[in-house]
Amino acid sequence: MDSNARESPPKKRRLGEEASDIIPATDLFLRCANLILPWLNSQELAAVSRTCKTLSLVSKSLTSHRSLDAARSFENIPIPFRNSVDSHPYAYFIYTPFQIPASSPPPRQWWGAAAGCGSESTRAYLDSVSERRRFGVSLVDESGEGMCGCQCERCEEGYCKCLAFAGMEEIANECGSGCGCGSDCSNRVTQKGISVGLKIVRDEKKGWCLYADQLIKQGQFICEYAGELLTTEEARKRQNVYDKLRSTQSFASALLVIREHLPSGQACLRINIDATRIGNIARFINHSCDGGNLSTVLLRSSGALLPRLCFFAARDIYAEEELSFSYGDVRVTGENRGNKLNCCCGSSCCFGTLPCENT
Ligand X SMILES: C[S@@+](CC[C@H](N)C(=O)[O-])C[C@H]1O[C@@H](n2cnc3c(N)ncnc32)[C@H](O)[C@@H]1O
Gap between the Cα atoms of 114 and 304, Å rounded: 35
Smallest distance from ligand X to CB 202, Å: 8
Q: Does 345 bind ligand X (CB under 6 A)?
A: yes
CA atoms within 13 A on the CB side of 345: 25
Beta bridge partners of 23: none
Binding flag, residue 310, ligand X (CB under 6 A): no
The answer to whether 222 contacts ligand X (rule: CB under 6 A) is no
**Distance set, CA 43 to CA 80, 341, 347 (Å):** 20, 26, 35
Peptide bond into 105 cis (omega under 30): yes
- Determine if 284 is a binding residue for ligand X (CB under 6 A): yes
Task: Determine, following the binding rule CB under 6 A, whether residue 238 of this chain makes contact with ligand X.
Answer: no
Q: Does 199 bind ligand X (CB under 6 A)?
A: no
Q: Tell me if 194 sits within 8 A of 223, measured CB to CB.
A: yes
Taking the complex as a whole, how short is the minimal distance between the CB of residue 226 and ligand X, in angstroms?
12
Least Å distance, CB 86 to ligand X, is 12
Smallest distance, ligand X to C-beta of residue 128, A: 26
Contact flags string 72-91 toward ligand X, x per CB under 6 A: -------------------x
Segment (H or E) for 211: strand 207-212
CB of 219 to ligand X, least distance (A): 24
Select the residue interacting with ligand X from 171, 192, 341, 351 (CB under 6 A).
Answer: 341
Closer residue to ligand X in complex, CB, 155/343: 343
Q: How many residues does the chain have?
A: 359
Residue of this chain nearest to ligand X (CB atom)? 207
Phi, psi of 275 (to 5 degrees): -105, 15
Strands of the 81-82 sheet, one edge to the other:
81-82, 198-203, 207-212
- Nearer to ligand X by Cβ, of 200 and 304: the residue is 200
Query: Could you give phi then psi for residue 3, rounded to 5 degrees?
Result: -65, -30
Phi, psi of 207 (to 5 degrees): 80, -140
Q: Which of 35, 129, 171, 252 binds ligand X (CB under 6 A)?
A: 252
* Interface size with ligand X, residues (CB under 6 A): 17
Nearer to ligand X, 208 or 311 (CB): 208
Q: Is 309 in the site for ligand X (CB under 6 A)?
A: no
Most distant CA pair in the chain, distance: 100
Binding-site ranges for ligand X (CB under 6 A): 91, 205-208, 252-254, 283-284, 286-287, 341, 343-345, 354
